[in-house]
Amino acid sequence: MVLGIIGENCSGKSTLAERIKETLGGEIITGKDYLRMAKSESEAVSLFREKLCQAILGDNIIYVITDQEHVKLLPDGAIRILVTADLETIKERFTARMHGNLPAPVALMLERKHGMFDSGEYDYRFDGVAGDAEAFCEVLRRVKCCRENDFTIRRLSEDERQAALDLK
């Protein structure tokens, strides 16, 4: 299963990704980590897309995304999860990340980017401030089971159809 954890800086994406990994297992890939897969960017993108496609019904890949351009890398069948937080919380978390000092240009950048993912299409929206990560992981576990069962049923139907053709 491929999970795209999408959201602004300091919205709670990494915390949710870690909880999903603890609960369901999987590999966390963040931002441009995929560039390590090859020497050239185009080759790395190609290999990463292939890896994501293979994981749709296989091992879990949790892709943490903070840039619009990376959302496009998610294949059909990936689960898109928007993680949100209010601007004040994002600023507080960013201030803590920067050891108590939030420079004015960084604050302006956060303000400018706030809400940048809001208009996208998502399978789920998770509140990175008050959301219940354990309950959300349980939902994802059920989704994974349903997807695996659906794939098995479709697979059996194809095999049965082929057996019928072989009898003719």
What pLDDT score was predicted for residue 63? 98
Residues 90 and 8 sit within 8 Å (Cβ to Cβ): yes
Alpha-carbon distance 39 to 127, whole Å?
37
Question: In the CATH hierarchy, which top-level class contains the domain 2-167?
Answer: alpha beta
What pLDDT score was predicted for residue 145? 84
* Helix, strand, coil percentages for the chain (3-state, nearest 5): 55, 15, 30
Which regions of the chain are under pLDDT 50? 152-156, 160-161, 164-165, 167-168
What pLDDT score was predicted for residue 158? 55
Alpha-carbon distance 155 to 59, whole Å?
18
Residues 28 and 17 sit within 8 Å (Cβ to Cβ): yes
Alpha helices (runs of H) in 10-132, residue ranges in sequence order:
13-24, 41-55, 68-71, 87-97, 104-113
Alpha-carbon distance 32 to 62, whole Å?
13
Locate the domains of the chain by residue range: 2-167
Residues 28 and 18 sit within 8 Å (Cβ to Cβ): yes
What pLDDT score was predicted for residue 129? 97
Question: Which two tokens mark 140?
Answer: 């994802």
Alpha-carbon distance 147 to 25, whole Å?
16
The SS3 of residue 155 is helix
What pLDDT score was predicted for residue 57? 81
pTM of the model: 0.86
